[in-house]
Amino acid sequence: MTRWTRWWLRTHDPERNAAEYVTGELPRRARRWFEAHLLGCDECWQEVLLGRLGRRLAEETREQAPARLRDRVRAAVQLASSAGGTGVPDPSSP
Ligand SMILES: [Zn+2]
């Protein structure tokens, strides 16, 4: 049993661990261990399925901003970055 495995078993948190797995935040070694763990842990398996479903629903319901708004945001970001600003538009400027 590796040090990481001992740590994992001590801090097993299906919701957090599955979220890290689904979002790709787990390091490679932890990911391999978690994938093997999934085969025997119903709690983690359910959390992974829920996490994937949630991500898919979020992707499907995402709406693109109107073109005019996108252009305004791009212009504000370019202006702020070229001027060395903070990225936050000055509300007092026209
Ligand atoms: Zn588990």
pLDDT at 36: 92
Distance separating alpha carbons of residues 18 and 46, to the nearest angstrom: 9
41 Cα to the center of ligand 1, angstroms: 5
pLDDT at 2: 66
CATH class of the domain at 7-82: mainly alpha
Record the pTM: 0.59
Residues of the chain with pLDDT under 50: none
pLDDT at 64: 85
Distance separating alpha carbons of residues 12 and 83, to the nearest angstrom: 48
17 Cα to the center of ligand 1, angstroms: 8
Q: Are 51 and 19 contacting, i.e. CB atoms less than 8 angstroms apart?
A: yes
Domain range summary for the chain, segments of one domain joined by +: 7-82
pLDDT at 69: 93
Q: Are 30 and 60 contacting, i.e. CB atoms less than 8 angstroms apart?
A: no
Query: Within 13 A of 15's CA, how many CA atoms are on the CB side?
Result: 0
18 Cα to the center of ligand 1, angstroms: 8
Q: Are 81 and 54 contacting, i.e. CB atoms less than 8 angstroms apart?
A: no
pLDDT at 90: 54
pLDDT at 12: 82
Residues with CB under 5 A from ligand 1 (ion): 14, 41, 44
